[in-house]
Amino acid sequence: MTRKHTPKITLLHSRTRALAALSQATRDWQQNSDVFTRLCRRLATTMSLETQLAIFAEELGGLVHFDRLCYQHHFGHHEFIYATGTGGPHTCKYRLTLEGVHYGDLSIQRRVRFADEELAAIEQLIGVLIFPVRNACRYGDIGVTASTGVVSHASPAGPLR
């Protein structure tokens, strides 16, 4: 074998190792049971905002007891509300904003005051929730726009947002 063929063999071995590492990372991702990975994996299965919020409520409920979770957002002239449970006197509210764009309001209520550790856990899980919610809201905005016929007024050269 001559020297000029060596780089191709090295490149082939490098790609084989990279593919094996990717395969292992995929197995690790699928088998990992920590709440962040599990929540991320579950949220990635749907573009339905309602389903995403149900998944979030289920995962959050495993860490922090709450009596009510409520999410509200406006799509054009339509209001979307997701609520589960009945309220309590103690509430934590979050305005879901990403890159300056508002994606709804989330409130969580219960009868007992939230501990600082619980609030931190809620905020960490919201950090996982925000990107799928953004995508679902954008998907919902496109659906509302399409159903009202506004798409026909869009510039042919401009992207839909």
Q: From first to last of the 161 residues of the chain, give the pLDDT tens digit.
A: 555 555 666 777 788 888 887 887 777 767 778 999 999 999 999 999 999 999 999 999 999 999 999 999 998 788 999 999 998 999 999 999 999 999 999 999 999 999 999 999 999 999 999 999 999 999 875 554 445 444 433 334 444 43
Would you state the pLDDT for residue 150?
42
Report the amino acid identity of residue 64. V
- Say if 158 falls within a structural domain: no
- Say if 59 falls within a structural domain: yes
Q: Please give the Cα distance from 160 to 138 (Å, whole number).
A: 10
- Say if 159 falls within a structural domain: no
Q: Please give the Cα distance from 124 to 101 (Å, whole number).
A: 19
Query: What single-letter DSSP state applies at residue 100?
Result: T
- End-to-end CA, the chain: 56
Domain containing 50 equals 32-149
Would you state the pLDDT for residue 153?
36
- Say if 51 falls within a structural domain: yes
Report the amino acid identity of residue 73. H
- Say if 155 falls within a structural domain: no
Label residue 125 left, alpha or beta by phi (over 0 means left) and psi (-120 to 50 means alpha).
alpha
Q: Could you identify the residue written with the tokens 């401009």?
A: 158
Would you state the pLDDT for residue 36?
93
**CB of 34 closer than 8 Å to CB of 42:** no
Q: With the C-alpha atoms ordered 79, 85, 87, 93, is the resulting torsion angle positive or negative?
A: negative
- Say if 22 falls within a structural domain: no
Would you state the pLDDT for residue 12?
76
Report how many domains make up the chain. Answer: 1
At 95, which CATH number?
3.30.450.40
Would you state the pLDDT for residue 161?
36
Q: Please give the Cα distance from 101 to 35 (Å, whole number).
A: 27
